[in-house]
């Protein structure tokens, strides 16, 4: 009887771990963000894009994300528009990435960033 209980607990633990890993992988792969477009400049400020990316690159409860993210400028509200951003990590490494607009409509844009690269 103890053996069955131990096996049951082990299987439950493995299922919980697998579910957590799957949720974390999905969360990390979700690189899309939506922001409101400024009506005057017809763009989203680079600071807002950077803040959104920093949130995507950080894991909940694990501070391994970048210490900051900078974008070279605003992201225009035009499908296909791009801006280059840099993630600055604690160990002094910088990783560049491109942010691209994938959808424009109703005063909002949806954009996606590629994986940070050296």
Q: What three-state secondary structure class fits 51?
A: helix
What's the rounded Cα separation, in Å, for the pair 78 and 44?
11
For residue 71, what are the domain limits?
A: 31-113
**What percent of the chain lies above the pLDDT cut of 90?**
53
What's the rounded Cα separation, in Å, for the pair 105 and 37?
9
Q: Give Cα 31 distance to the centre of its chain.
A: 4
Of residues 91 and 87, the one with the higher pLDDT is 87
What's the rounded Cα separation, in Å, for the pair 44 and 42?
7
pLDDT for residue 15 = 46
What's the rounded Cα separation, in Å, for the pair 48 and 43?
11
> Is the per-residue pLDDT at 13 higher than 80?
no
> Is the per-residue pLDDT at 12 higher than 60?
no
Query: Are residues 23 and 46 part of one domain?
Result: no
Query: Are residues 51 and 109 part of one domain?
Result: yes
15-45 pLDDT per residue, tens: 444 444 444 443 344 679 999 999 999 999 9
Query: Are residues 105 and 75 part of one domain?
Result: yes
Query: Are residues 62 and 89 part of one domain?
Result: yes
**What's the structural domain count of the chain?**
2
């Amino acid at each position: 009887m103890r053996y069955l209980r131990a096996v049951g607990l082990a299987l439950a633990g493995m299922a919980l771990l697998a579910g957590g890993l799957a949720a974390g992988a999905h969360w990390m792969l979700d690189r899309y963000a939506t922001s409101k477009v400024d009506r005057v400049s017809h763009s989203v400020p680079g600071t807002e894009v950077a803040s959104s990316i920093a949130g995507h690159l950080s894991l909940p409860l694990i501070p391994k994300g970048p210490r900051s993210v900078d974008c070279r400028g605003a992201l225009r509200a035009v499908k296909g528009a791009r801006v280059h951003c840099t993630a600055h990590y604690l160990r002094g490494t910088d990783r560049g990435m491109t942010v691209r607009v994938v959808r424009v409509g109703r005063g909002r844009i949806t954009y996606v960033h590629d994986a940070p690269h050296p």
